[in-house]
A and B are shown apart, each in its own frame.
Chain A
Amino acid sequence: MTTPPPAKITIERLSVQYRDGTESLRDISLSIPAHQITVLFGPAGGGKSTLLRALNRLNDLVDGVRVTGRILLDGEEISGPGVDTVALRRRVGMVFAQPVPLPMSIRQNVVYGLELAGVRDAARREWELEKALRAAALWDEVQDRLDAPAVALSGGQQQRLCLARVLALEPEVILLDEPTSGLDPISTAKVEQSLQEIKRLYTVVIVPHSVQQAARLADQAAFFLQGELVETAAGRELFVTPREARTNDYVTGRFG
């Protein structure tokens, strides 16, 4: 490889193989620029979630997974053995498709990550709590019931809570795996809106739940098909003038 490009994350020849031998990612190289929204899209089973989970090392927990290649965060390797995964996951936060409120109150859910990170100052935590809830467009709906159990929120609210929980940690990179798949159009618009705002501070990698959403959000887009990265392009290019026929078929709705 030549000198690393000025990217937040650089993925070099990454392959991921699960225990049963399926190659979920094959020889992926991609660079993810800072302060942009990178969209990973493609049909089911393409390996998008697998790639996200490689970026914060959640794949480590799956029995018998084999990862080859390198991932660099700010030029520093994060894919090898001996990486402090706990510290890494504080820098690279993640929101899942299924909102998973932890069995605690709304407030505790948001400040839990801060507590783990050793933030003892209660005033600072309260301040981060409000800031994160506002950024996730949830503050108005929950400000007067912060001590209610988080499971009592609606699905869309839970999802925004999970986003707030990650934002409170002030990570450098935020990974989102179909964060709006269970949300109504209004909540979806709210989440997309807040993503556009937070990208000034963070680097965002998102697996969208539709091609339309992909086109709406992308500063850079990458199309995945059965473990292969078919093509990458900046902005809306991939949705308007894709180079590959397979990309074209997918974005025009001919398959997938």
Chain B
Amino acid sequence: MAPSLATLKPPARASRNWGELIVEALIRAAGYSAILFVFLILLFLLREGLPTFAEVGLGDLFAVRWYPIEDYFGLLPLIGGSLIVTLGATLLAMPLGLATAVFVAEIAPRWLREILKPLIEVLGGLPSVVLGFMGMLALAPLVRETLNTPTGLTAFTGSILLAGMALPTLVSVAEDALDAVPRSYRDAALALGATPWQTIWRVTVPAARTGVLTAGMLGIGRAIGETMTVMMVTGNAARLPDGLGALFLPVRTMTATIAAEMGEVANGSTHYHVLFTVGLALFLISFLVNLMASAVVFRQKKRSERLLS
């Protein structure tokens, strides 16, 4: 495509007017500044966080005890807490979200679909504090009673709420992806004697897998950085999750730790530096997750582009 555009250029290059140059410069500046801001944030995190490594030994950071008042700065329970809550949320949200998207896109009659779609999108705008509040008052007691745990404020409770927050985004993006699968795919499968269900699971969903994957990433991405809700319902006990059973015990996530403790530390103290290190770790983890996601999506995209060509 590029070479044919080049040949379209008029032979005598008309002098480009100033307006065009200015617009181009502005757009370029906007593009670079986005990168610049992320870079500045990283620099700031590094400046405030790096002193940690001079003040606390690496061995002490990768320990299992977080008790800053007595200078125990083990980060593992926080990282583990974040991971287990996010993992739980993903496990809950992916199947549920996909099922909902399939229902809305493939099964629901047109009128129901036209009601459901905007409704789901509105749910995505619910403030997280409100969700956390509902989680504390309604969900936590429910979890305590049905699972018979000592407290309802567990990693699992956080996972449920995070899944709830991820769902609207997940469903609406996945639904768009399913909707974009050409009609002819469904016709082809049905004409081979596939039932509507077989058509959905063997043809429509696989053909939309890039979009469904993106939907999952976007949904979880919205949940992973979430602080308020998680802080309100996970019990905030900095304890290393040691297996799946830990899902039903209180945990403490990285985001919740920063939010809860940042207001109380002395500027420049070791505790202060460590909190920035936690932020740095969070930054790196979400950077890695995004990198992996885009690698997967990119690879899949090339394949599906061939598919649709």
Partners in one complex: yes
Q: Could you tell me the distance in whole angstroms from the C-beta of B175 to the nearest C-beta in chain A?
A: 18
Count of B residues near A, CB < 8 Å? 24
Known contacts A100-B184, A100-B188, A102-B185, A89 near B203 by CB under 8 Å: no
A36 at the interface (CB under 8 A from B): no
Chain A residues within 8 Å of B195, by CB: 86, 116
Docked-complex contact B192 and A96, CB < 8 angstroms: no
Known contacts A63-B110, A98-B184, A103-B203, A93 near B191 by CB under 8 Å: yes
Docked-complex contact B307 and A86, CB < 8 angstroms: no
Q: Could you tell me the distance in whole angstroms from the C-beta of B275 to the nearest C-beta in chain A?
A: 47
A112 CA to B199 CA, complexed, in Å: 11
Interface residues of B in 178-201 (CB under 8 A from A): 182, 184-195, 198
A86 CA to B189 CA, complexed, in Å: 11
Docked-complex contact A56 and B191, CB < 8 angstroms: yes
B206 at the interface (CB under 8 A from A): yes
Chain B residues within 8 Å of A89, by CB: 190-193
Known contacts A63-B110, A89-B192, A151-B306, A100 near B198 by CB under 8 Å: no
Nearest residue (CB) in A for B204 is A103
Nearest residue (CB) in A for B193 is A90
A94 at the interface (CB under 8 A from B): yes
Chain B residues within 8 Å of A201, by CB: none
Chain A residues within 8 Å of B182, by CB: 100
B207 at the interface (CB under 8 A from A): yes
Docked-complex contact B188 and A102, CB < 8 angstroms: yes
Interface of B is mostly: helix
Docked-complex contact B187 and A112, CB < 8 angstroms: no
Partner of B307, one of A56, A96, A103, A162: A103
Q: Could you tell me the distance in whole angstroms from the C-beta of B44 to the nearest C-beta in chain A?
A: 45
Q: Could you tell me the distance in whole angstroms from the C-beta of B104 to the nearest C-beta in chain A?
A: 16
A165 at the interface (CB under 8 A from B): yes
Q: Could you tell me the distance in whole angstroms from the C-beta of A151 to the nearest C-beta in chain B?
A: 5
Interface residues of B in 11-41 (CB under 8 A from A): none
A113 CA to B182 CA, complexed, in Å: 20
Nearest residue (CB) in B for A98 is B184
Partner of A61, one of B186, B194, B206: B186
Known contacts A63-B110, A102-B203, A103-B207, A96 near B184 by CB under 8 Å: yes
A103 CA to B208 CA, complexed, in Å: 10
Interface residues of A in 102-146 (CB under 8 A from B): 102-103, 112-113, 116-117
Nearest residue (CB) in A for B304 is A103
Docked-complex contact B191 and A94, CB < 8 angstroms: yes
Known contacts A103-B207, A151-B306, A169 near B188 by CB under 8 Å: no
A116 CA to B188 CA, complexed, in Å: 13
Chain B 284-309 interface mask (CB, 8 Å, partner A; 1/0)? 00000000000000000001101101
A149 CA to B304 CA, complexed, in Å: 11
Chain A residues within 8 Å of B184, by CB: 96, 98, 100
A58 at the interface (CB under 8 A from B): yes
Docked-complex contact B203 and A58, CB < 8 angstroms: no
Docked-complex contact A86 and B187, CB < 8 angstroms: no
Most buried by B among A87, A102, A151: A102
Chain A residues within 8 Å of B186, by CB: 61
Q: Could you tell me the distance in whole angstroms from the C-beta of B157 to the nearest C-beta in chain A?
A: 39
Chain A residues within 8 Å of B307, by CB: 103, 151
A209 CA to B187 CA, complexed, in Å: 20
A56 CA to B192 CA, complexed, in Å: 10
Known contacts A61-B186, A100-B185, A103-B307, A112 near B192 by CB under 8 Å: yes
Partner of B193, one of A86, A100, A102, A149: A86
Docked-complex contact A61 and B192, CB < 8 angstroms: no
A61 CA to B107 CA, complexed, in Å: 11
Nearest residue (CB) in B for A62 is B183
Docked-complex contact A169 and B189, CB < 8 angstroms: no
A63 CA to B188 CA, complexed, in Å: 18
Q: Could you tell me the distance in whole angstroms from the C-beta of A118 to the nearest C-beta in chain B?
A: 10
Q: Could you tell me the distance in whole angstroms from the C-beta of B189 to the nearest C-beta in chain A?
A: 7
Partner of B192, one of A93, A98, A103, A152: A93
Q: Could you tell me the distance in whole angstroms from the C-beta of B188 to the nearest C-beta in chain A?
A: 4
Docked-complex contact A58 and B187, CB < 8 angstroms: yes
Known contacts A102-B203, A103-B207, A103-B307, A116 near B192 by CB under 8 Å: yes
A109 CA to B191 CA, complexed, in Å: 13
Docked-complex contact A116 and B193, CB < 8 angstroms: yes
A166 at the interface (CB under 8 A from B): yes
A96 CA to B187 CA, complexed, in Å: 9
Q: Could you tell me the distance in whole angstroms from the C-beta of B28 to the nearest C-beta in chain A?
A: 38
New A-B contacts (13) at CB < 8 Å, excluding given A100-B188, A112-B202: A86-B195, A89-B191, A89-B193, A96-B191, A98-B184, A102-B185, A102-B202, A102-B203, A103-B207, A112-B194, A113-B192, A151-B309, A165-B192
The 7 nearest A-B residue pairs measured at CB = A90-B193, A100-B188, A113-B192, A94-B191, A89-B193, A100-B184, A151-B307
**Can you sample 11 A-B contacts with CB below 8 Å?**
A89-B191, A100-B182, A102-B203, A103-B206, A103-B307, A113-B192, A116-B193, A116-B194, A116-B198, A165-B192, A166-B192
B residues neighboring A (CB under 8 Å): 110, 182, 184-195, 198, 202-203, 206-207, 303-304, 306-307, 309
